[in-house]
Structure 1
């Protein structure tokens, strides 16, 4: 599992968590938390019900029951208040820890998403900084934090779009697209590993921001180079088959300068002859340029005559 920070929105989180990128619910995460973090989540759920009421909120409760053979006895209880009247049997659940001692809270029910790492705190201002500078620096830090949060949410949305497209095509990736904890950039999904013996490229699925579509990204099958280069857009499974053979999309070559027309060459010769040699020039350079241009003109006329076309 991957270490990350998650939230439902900026009013509920972020909380430190772990999650499996391949285990999602409607594109939302299924995070797992330490008991200490569960206590923070529990406190926040109860604060929210105090603020907004119990009508549409769930609450988490951590009930301590002493110790058993030196180990703390704890019950983590989830109460779904909206179910209490119509489906009382589903209104409560006891959350058991997994093998790592982590608790899955809200997975498959709550819309958890990755959040920016809150460790990037506002800078500590020096006592010598004037108030106006301290305020400006704090505002700058808040803007940076907000920008990082927007970038992280955008990247998560892109990852979801990539994974949705793969599901629709019936592609089961080796690793889903995801955004690492505290990151703001998408890690492409891995579809096929490289095969050096068959000279097949590794194929990943990335998001093309310009096209607004999934684009394949190719990794080399030789050497130690681990970077990815863009390939064709992903529209069918056959694109994966083709891409692993053809490799990255060729970059358009810069257009070569248009060949000079014979008229332009003649103008160069006439200009050189009109101005003559420059100061300190014996005329040899001018004669050389003129002779070269004349030779090109002769060659162009010859080719035109032979091929009967310009």
Structure 2
């Protein structure tokens, strides 16, 4: 609705189709997505118990009982013990700190890099856009796991190295998605109106384009969390990831691989189950955010 004294250009800017709506509407739409809501609760619970492991875990990290050895789940050890007699539930909770932290930090950094490059490529177009996209294509054709293994081995298999290595390869999908959306929005009337009143390119991107991509970016970021956790788990399973004394769910999978076909195969199931539940929760949360931020599917 136009107000008194608004010019035609100001009216267009006031009516630009920002995704979502009020915070209350966003929350209401997300809550109505039952699967996403349940997934959010489960994920928050996982984060709390993992990062609260020093106070919640039934046993200290790394506490061994070599005489006990690997045992099946029991009342004393809910998920059993490993070959060193360590309580497996406690070890999984402490390992979750590393896996979840890597997933969240990689998703944040990859989203920032991918969104920035994708927005610049889509809005600027021309040789700048082509250059960014050719660099993106170059990263996409490189065998990811092989390159990650080389990087991590060269710089040292620390969580920090893994975060930056995964970020270096994880921004490409987000950049392509954001570029495609910016290309479709940059010729809209509200963008032309912003140019007409002298808004800078940076202001147009930050204030007029990116708010309309909130749903797309939220979904892309959720996928980045899941992809990072899976990639870290794959690296650790292959022996290129987190090294002792630090552990992750992937390194626990690697250590338990030798128990396939034995009564202690449960050592393989439990970390795999935590990875599976986390990835599914993140994906369902992404679906809920997409529907809440972009209920009419404008930006899909």
TM-score normalised by L of structure 1? 0.20
RCO higher in 1 or 2 (8 Å CA, sep ≥ 6)?
A: 2
Structure with a larger share of its residues in helix: 2
**TM norm structure 2:** 0.21
The structure with more radius of gyration: 1
